Amino acid sequence: MSSFEAVKGPTEIHDFALNYGVEFAKDDPSDSISTSSWAVTRGEVVIDSDRVEGDRAIARVSGGTKFHSLHEIQNTVIAASGQRYVRTILIELYNS
């Protein structure tokens, strides 16, 4: 599992994207995302919507409060080949 860090303000709405193209190129260059699911695993942010664009899994995230500054969202991708990838994004909220 890999993790990444990002920041946003409590009133901001952001798209967060994870690119799986590097893994596909190493494991199976013809692979693609079959399914992608997102979950909030820590904190109060909200995943408003999600989509897949090519090798990228994207989540639109809103919410959170400045009083709870660290949030975490997790993406699970199942590739067409059956391989499973899990990545986490840590989101730090700042006062806007």
Q: What is the pTM for the complete model shown?
A: 0.90
Q: 81-96 in b/e burial notation, b at 16+ Cβ within 10 A?
A: eeeebebbbbbebeee
The string of pLDDT tens digits covering residues 40-81 is: 999 989 999 999 999 999 999 999 877 667 899 999 999 999
Percent of the chain with pLDDT over 70: 94
Q: Which tokens sit at 69?
A: 């500054």
Which pLDDT score is estimated for 93? 86
Average of pLDDT values for 10-16?
93
Which pLDDT score is estimated for 70? 87
